[in-house]
Amino acid sequence: MSRWQPDARGRLEKAALELYAERGYERTTVAEIAERAGLTERTFFRHYADKREVLFGGSADLFDVLGEAAASAPEDASPFGVVSAVLDVVADCFPEERRPHSRRRQAVIDAHPELRERELIKLARLSADLSAALRARGVAGPTAELAAETGVAVFKVAFGCWIGADEHRDMKTLMCASLVELRAVTAGGQG
């Protein structure tokens, strides 16, 4: 982030979401987003490739957080112990003040198939990264993939609840509830 433009990324993201809500995603231009943020188009393109990417800027942070958390989990942690530790740190990326923003963002994404596809791809990359981090710790391939995929599923379900209209519980609580539910579901036999 440049020193003379404190939080240019955050301002662009906020401006973009306001405009997408006001006039629709299709009808919003990069020039308008930059103007609303009080920045130039050149600055926009220094941070984001296009108006779609503005919605996914936060995932770069998530990738960092995930990598750090996976690397710093206790050496003797089980594969799913690492995943739990990662989810715990990821939950901190979704503080209460971010919730209205996340709700608006999801409404835009849900309304556009190409944005939903983009989101799926980012989630798949999160899962692949988590799986790679587990393999780097010596976990066997299939186990690493299963642990990573289920971890991302736990996150998706918790996040879906968190942005629900009447949901007041925080992300940590919901992530924990989702994890407990996962264990109950997978323990529940073939019956």
Q: How far is the CB of 160 from a copy of itself (least distance, A)?
A: 7
Q: How many CB atoms lie within 10 A of CB 179?
A: 21
> Considering the complex, what minimum distance in angstroms separates the CB of residue 186 from a copy of itself?
5
CB 126 within 8 A of CB 39: no
- Select from 116, 186, 189 the least CA-distant residue to 156: 116
- 163 in contact with a copy of itself (CB under 8 A): no
Is residue 145 a contact residue for a copy of itself (CB under 8 A)? yes
From the list 151, 157, 158, 160, the residue with the least C-alpha distance to 130 is 151
Cα–Cα distance for residue pair 82/142, rounded to 1 Å: 15
Query: By CB under 8 A, is residue 121 in contact with a copy of itself?
Result: yes
User: Rounded CA gap, 30 and 48, in Å?
Assistant: 10
Give CA–CA dist 146/182, Å, rounded: 13
Among 18, 53, 149, 170, binds a copy of itself (CB under 8 A): 149
Decide if residue 156 touches a copy of itself (CB under 8 A). Answer: yes
If binding means CB under 8 A, how many residues of this protein chain bind a copy of itself? 37
71 near a copy of itself (CB under 8 A): no
- Which part of the chain contacts a copy of itself (CB under 8 A), choosing from 30-38, 39-47, 54-62, 155-163? 155-163
Structure tokens at 67: 């990598």
Options 31, 107, 124, 136; binder of a copy of itself; rule CB under 8 A: 124
Q: Is 28 in the site for a copy of itself (CB under 8 A)?
A: no
Residue 111 binds a copy of itself, judged by CB under 8 A: no
- Per CB under 8 A, the list member of 21, 85, 93, 108 interacting with a copy of itself is 85
What type of residue is 29? T
Rg (CA), the chain: 18
Q: Is 117 in the site for a copy of itself (CB under 8 A)?
A: yes
Residue type, 155: F
CA distance 133 to 54: 27
List interacting residues with a copy of itself (CB under 8 A): 76-81, 84-85, 117, 120-121, 124, 142-143, 145-147, 149-150, 152-154, 156-157, 160-161, 178, 181-183, 185-191
